Amino acid sequence: MESPDTDSRIIRMLRSESMKENGFRLLTKTYGERLYWHIRRIVISHDDAEDVLQETFIQIFTKSATFKGNAEQLAAWLYRIALNEALMHLRRQTHFFQSIDDVNPLLLEKLEAAETHDGDAAERLLQKALLQLPTTQRTTFIMRYYDEMTYEQMAAITGKSIGTLKTNYHYATERIKQYIQAHHDSI
Amino acid sequence: MTVSKPSSKPFSEPPAYVEQLVERCTENALRQAPLRQQHRRLQLRRRFMAAAASIVIIVGVGFTLPTLRQQLLPTAQTAAMQADANALENYLASISDEEAQLLTDYEVEEFVEY
């Protein structure tokens, strides 16, 4: 669990010219791993996750001077940047008239090509089910199920209402169940 | 906001690997962020200069073009008129007085239309 004192300390250091760099190092040490897994689950590929994490860190450091929030808002701000960078990365892989959801088949190929699992067939099936979902439902599910966030935390990150997030999550779980029921023989 | 310990599911990179990756990205970000900001400022400055130069050129051409036209056209007309006048003088100087008289007396006949 994260300490509010750590977040306060990070913010104080980021706002000081002399301590800004060390504050950034403390920030990435505290949140870096979380942000990596969050990004990885969205972009699937390890190489892409590394690129997006790099870009996220650059954005965080560049924009740290303009962060006006308090310690309670820091984590949401970080996740928002990470989520936006991940989604922008996916959008860059689409053509002009394509939707971001059209990237899903490509992500499925990357999932199947990469050695990303420890042999857990059920987990593989869940990932394939996730990639059948629209991106908004998929990212909502990832935040709720894997990142274990509350709806309030997710609302702070995405700017969406709690009702919308609950609806997204509900539809996501329904479609995942249907997919797994239809394909459970492949496990 | 408090967030619980991260899960690596469904992926399998070891924690030590991710830790090294985070450190590497941190140091890269510290190096690249100032350069990025500098590059962005330079790009903005270039765009501003290009826009300013475009405005100057457009306004300059707008003022200069009518004046240029006035200056160039009379010169061309004068030169043509001058050339015509010289050719006529040269011809008249080359013919005899009788031939010149014939030109003066020349009348156009009216032909009957069939």
Summary mean pLDDT of chain B: 78
The predicted-structure confidence for A136-182, as pLDDT tens digits, reads as follows: 999 999 999 999 999 999 999 999 999 999 999 999 999 999 999 99
Give me the percent of chain A exceeding a pLDDT of 90: 68
pLDDT confidence tier of residue B113, bands split at 50, 70 and 90 = low
| Residue (of A97, A69, A100, A71) closest to A83 by Cα position | A100
Does A46 contact B19 at a Cβ distance shorter than 8 Å? no
Block residue for tokens 């959008």 = A91
- Interface ipTM: 0.87
CATH for the stretch A1-100: 1.10.1740.10
Element counts in chain A: helices (H) and strands (E): 9, 0
Q: A124 CA to chain B: closest CA distance, Å?
A: 8
- Terminal Cα-to-Cα distance of chain B (whole angstroms): 109
All CATH 1.10.1740.10 domain ranges of chain A, comma separated, are 1-100
Alpha-carbon gap, residue B110 to B53, rounded angstroms = 67
Structure tokens of B63?
């003022």
Angle between helices A20-43 and A46-63 (to 10 degrees): 150
All residues of chain B having their beta carbon less than 8 Å from the beta carbon of residue A73 are: 1
Residue B4 vs residue A32, higher pLDDT: A32
Q: How far is CA B96 from CA A153, B35, B91, B102, in A?
A: 111, 89, 10, 10
Check: CB of residue A144 under 8 Å from CB of residue A154.
Answer: yes
Q: DSSP states of A113-180 as a string?
A: HS---SS-HHHHHHHHHHTTS-HHHHHHHIIIIIS---HHHHHHHH---HHHHHHHHHHHHHHHHHHH
Is A137 within 8 Å of A175 (Cβ atoms)?
yes
| Helix or strand (DSSP H, E) at B56 | helix B15-94
- Burial class of residue A24 in the structure, from the number of CB atoms within 10 Å of its CB (0-12 exposed, 13-18 middle, 19+ buried): buried
pLDDT digits (tens, 9 = 90+) for A59-96: 999 999 889 888 889 999 999 999 999 999 999 988 87
How close B2 comes to chain A (CA, Å)?
Answer: 5
User: Are A75 and B10 within 8 A, CB to CB?
Assistant: no
Residue B17 forms contact with A (CB below 8 Å): no
Q: Is B15 on the interface with A (CB under 8 A)?
A: yes
Domain edges within chain B: 15-95
Q: Which residues of A touch B18 (CB under 8 A)?
A: 32-33, 36-37
CATH fit for domain A117-187, picks 3.40.50.1820, 3.40.50.2000, 1.10.10.10, 1.10.760.10: 1.10.10.10
Q: How far apart are CA A111 and CA A96, in angstroms?
A: 24
Instruction: Spell out which residues of chain B touch residue A38, defining contact as CB-CB under 8 Å.
Output: 6
Using pLDDT thresholds of 50, 70 and 90, give the confidence band for residue A35. very high
Residues in chain A closer than 8 A to B25 (CB atoms):
28, 32, 50, 53-54, 57
Residues of A with CB under 8 A from a CB of B: 1-2, 4, 21, 24-25, 28-29, 32-34, 36-38, 40-41, 46, 50, 53-54, 57-58, 60-62, 72-76, 115-118, 120, 123-124, 126-127, 146-149, 153, 156
Residue type, B51: A
User: Which chain A residues are Cβ-neighbours of B32 within 8 angstroms?
Assistant: 58
- A61 and B30 in contact by Cβ < 8 A? yes
> How far apart are the C-alpha atoms of A61 and B37, rounded to whole Å?
11
Q: How far is A113 from chain B (nearest CA, A)?
A: 13
Region(s) of chain A under CATH 1.10.10.10: 117-187
